[in-house]
Amino acid sequence: MKPVVIVGAGPAGISAARTLLDHGVTPCLIDENLRGGGQIYRRQPLGFQRSARQIYGFEASKAQAAHRTMDELAPLIDYRPQTLVWNAEDGRLDLLDNGRAESVDYARIIVATGATDRILPVPGWTLPGVYSLGAAQIALKYQGCAIGERVAFCGSGPLLYLVAYQYAKAGAKVVAVLDSAPFSAQCRALPALLGQPLTLAKGMYYRAWLTAHGIPVHQGATLQKIDGEQRVSGIRWDDHVLACDAVAFAHALRSETQLADLLGCEFAWNTLNRAWLPQRDNAGRSSVNVVYLAGDGAGIMGADAAKMAGERAALAVLEDSGVAIDQRRPAVLEQQLAGIQRFRHGLETAFPFPEQWAAQAPDALMVCRCEEVSAGEIRAVVDEGHWELNRVKAHCRVGMGRCQGRMCGLAAAEIVAERSGRGIEQVGRLRGQAPIKPLPFGVEVQP
């Protein structure tokens, strides 16, 4: 019998697997990482000594619970860590497991592919010492390292203050936090944020802690340039110059949607996420019959919501497979998710997208770090009359490299929209193409 397959062992995937197993359905859980937990609850390698409290702070108990669940599940389900899903075709997933190509058929699939940082490039962003906010956090929680001796945190979004706080707490020198969102935006957002007082309080705590510890926090400050020859030597914004040897920056998160795309899910423009997202109903059902979506991979709502959405999607899988479930549970979950969704609107007000970014990006700015395509080259293609993102890609290679536009695609779309005078929702989205990540020659093929 074909299994229910879950892709991604973050909060959504783990909770989906737990729910399925609790109802007597043994799932196959496929994850690229070595250990379950996803990026948010990424687990340090075996042999590391720090406590969960040290690594995850306020989120320690949630992280531990996720890890505990993962440890319980691992021997009971078909768990496949360190395995890449590189393609989906005809009811089957194509996998790459340690240099071997394999495939797995699925009866139903829950896509819980998570998110990466949303990047709006700045001059100097490819220098050694510049990382995404998520990367800076992973260096610390997964490896016990700081990305440099004197680190600046820039951009926007809740992760900005959290990671700066974690770094300072762990003994790193945080030279500044630059928040591109003005303080007034955060005041405006307050009513919506009050719906989740605990989360709001944590955010305010990080911010206050940084100030109390003498770490300069600049609001309404947009990182303009990262200086350096062979590595970072400083940053610039407005009239300021500040020496540092590492920079972490991002503007919130973006969903990993390639697998949903290859599975044939319909996408729709989502204003809140400012992105094209695979459509899902409140239960997580996609437009494709046996495909379900859970967690940040189908719109950013955070780890708590991902856990609920994973359970909700698993319940939908069970319902649709004719397995009895507690009929009250879906409504409870959906109500909680709706609450988080309101908070999410508040966050977007508090950390608004910097709409002026595209207009201000200098022509020389390298937007695509794989193919080394500049903003000016993208604009030149637009000036020839192209405005659809895949056509722009065809002409100047933006988004065509190893990462398939994960790092530059959204930024490129902003530039195309701004230059062509179209709305960001009108320029389309980069089509997903297999392989989801690079695939080696000489791959062994399992019969």
Partner 1 sequence: MIDVIVLGGGIVGASAALMLAQKGQRVALVERDFCGSHSSGVNYGGVRRQGRPLHQLPLSQRAHQLWADLPGLIGIDGEYMRSGHLKLARSHADFAALQAYAEQTRGFGLGLQLLDYAELRARFPWVGDIAVGASLCPEDGHANPRLVSPAFARAAQRCGAAVYEQAEVMRIEHDSRRFQVHCANGLHLQAAWLLNCAGAWAGSVAAQFGEAVPITCAHPAMLVTEPLPVVMNVSTGVEGGGIYARQVARGNCILGGGRGFALGPLTARPGQAAVLEILRNAGELYPFLKGAQAIRTWSGTEGYLPDHEPVIGPSSTQPGLLHGFGFAGAGFQLGPAVGEALAEIVCTGASRHPIEAFSIRRFQA
Partner 2 sequence: MALFKRLAETARPALSFTLDGQPASGLLGDTLLTAMLTCAEHLRGSDFSAEHRAGFCLMGACQDCWVRLEDGRRVRACSTLLEEGQAISRDPGRQP
Chain residues in the site for partner 1 (CB under 8 A): 87, 89, 92, 94, 101, 103, 264, 384-385, 388, 391, 394-395, 400-402, 404, 433-435, 438-445
User: 46 touches which of partner 2, partner 1, none (CB within 5 to 8 A by kind)?
Assistant: partner 2
Smallest gap, in angstroms, from Cβ of residue 101 to partner 1?
6
Site membership for partner 2, residue 233 (CB under 8 A) = no
Site for partner 2 in 275-334 (CB under 8 A): none
Residue 191 CB: number of other CB atoms within 10 A? 11
Smallest gap, in angstroms, from Cβ of residue 99 to partner 1?
11
Nearer of residues 171 and 322 to partner 2, judged by Cβ: 171
Q: Interface mask (CB under 8 A) for partner 2, residues 361-400, using x and -?
A: --------xxxx----------------------------
Closest CA to 249 of 203, 180, 297, 166: 180
Nearer of residues 225 and 391 to partner 1, judged by Cβ: 391
Nearer of residues 24 and 447 to partner 1, judged by Cβ: 447
Nearer of residues 150 and 345 to partner 2, judged by Cβ: 150
Site membership for partner 2, residue 156 (CB under 8 A) = no
Which DSSP string do the residues of 353-386 spell out, in sequence order? --TTHHHHS-TT-EEETTTTEEHHHHHHHHHTT-
* Candidate segments 15-23, 103-111, 327-335, 403-411, binder of partner 2 by CB under 8 A: 403-411
Smallest gap, in angstroms, from Cβ of residue 231 to partner 2?
5
195 burial level (CB within 10 Å; 0-12, 13-18, 19+): middle
Smallest gap, in angstroms, from Cβ of residue 423 to partner 1?
17
Could you say which of 14, 29, 32, 200 contacts partner 2 (CB under 8 A)? 32
Is beta strand 108-111 parallel, antiparallel or unpaired with respect to 291-293?
A: parallel
Rg from Cα positions in the chain: 22
Nearer of residues 169 and 431 to partner 2, judged by Cβ: 169
Nearer of residues 2 and 50 to partner 2, judged by Cβ: 50
Compute the CA torsion angle 420, 422, 426, 429 (nearest 10 deg). 40
Smallest gap, in angstroms, from Cβ of residue 97 to partner 2?
14
Smallest gap, in angstroms, from Cβ of residue 244 to partner 2?
13
- Most distant CA atoms of the chain, gap in Å: 65
Tokens of 145: 């390292």
Nearer of residues 28 and 177 to partner 1, judged by Cβ: 28
Nearer of residues 256 and 418 to partner 2, judged by Cβ: 256
Q: Interface mask (CB under 8 A) for partner 2, residues 172-191, using x and -?
A: x-------------------
CA–chain centroid gap for 44, Å, is 19
Closest CA to 295 of 3, 6, 62, 75: 6
Smallest gap, in angstroms, from Cβ of residue 151 to partner 2?
9
CA distance 230 to 370: 18
CA distance 147 to 321: 47
Q: Which residues contact 346 (CB under 8 A, 6 or more apart)?
A: 189, 190, 191, 192, 193, 194, 195
Nearer of residues 149 and 444 to partner 1, judged by Cβ: 444
Helix (H) or strand (E) holding 153: strand 150-156
CA distance 374 to 126: 12
Length of the chain: 447
Closest CA to 309 of 300, 322, 324, 2: 300
Site membership for partner 2, residue 439 (CB under 8 A) = no
Q: Point out which residues bind partner 2 (CB under 8 A).
A: 32-34, 39, 44-50, 54, 99, 116-117, 126-132, 134-135, 138-140, 142-149, 170-172, 230-231, 246, 256, 369-372, 401-403, 406-407, 437-438, 440
